[in-house]
């Protein structure tokens, strides 16, 4: 488990099969008012469920007035996010 100062490293498989366990960890990791960094450099496979989980994380961070930033993205994650028109910076609060 990561702390707010340590980036949360996404697994190689960011997909429907890993979503439930990853969701719990990500939601526990987000704390009110803090800056959170996500490292997506290890992601090898991503599907729509993985992207939806990142959207859910962004919404949850906004709810608790936190910030989330993607600090690294593998080619697979970059391509999936770019295909959906998602900016690679996941800022959620000013």
Q: Is the pTM of this model over 0.85?
A: no
At 14-52, the pLDDT tens digits run 999 998 889 888 888 887 778 889 999 999 999 999 988
Going from N- to C-terminal start, the domains of the chain cover 8-83
At 57-68, the pLDDT tens digits run 888 888 999 888
- 46: tokens are 């991503």
**Dihedral sign computed on CA atoms, order 38, 93, 15, 18:** positive
CA angle 26, 21, 7 (to 5 degrees): 30
Considering the four listed CATH numbers 3.40.50.720, 3.30.750.24, 2.30.110.10, 1.10.3720.10, the one that applies to the domain covering 8-83 is 3.30.750.24
The SS3 assignment for 93 reads coil
pLDDT at 39: 94
Q: Assess whether pLDDT exceeds 60 at residue 89.
A: no
């Amino acid at each position: 488990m990561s702390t707010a100062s340590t980036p949360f490293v996404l697994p190689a498989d960011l997909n429907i099969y890993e979503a439930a366990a990853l969701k719990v960890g990500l939601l526990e990791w987000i704390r009110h008012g803090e800056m959170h960094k996500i490292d997506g450099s290890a992601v090898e496979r991503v599907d729509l469920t993985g992207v939806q989980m990142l959207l859910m994380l962004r919404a949850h961070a906004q709810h608790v007035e936190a910030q989330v930033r993607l600090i690294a993205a593998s080619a697979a994650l970059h391509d999936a996010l770019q295909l959906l028109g998602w900016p690679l910076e996941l800022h959620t609060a000013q």
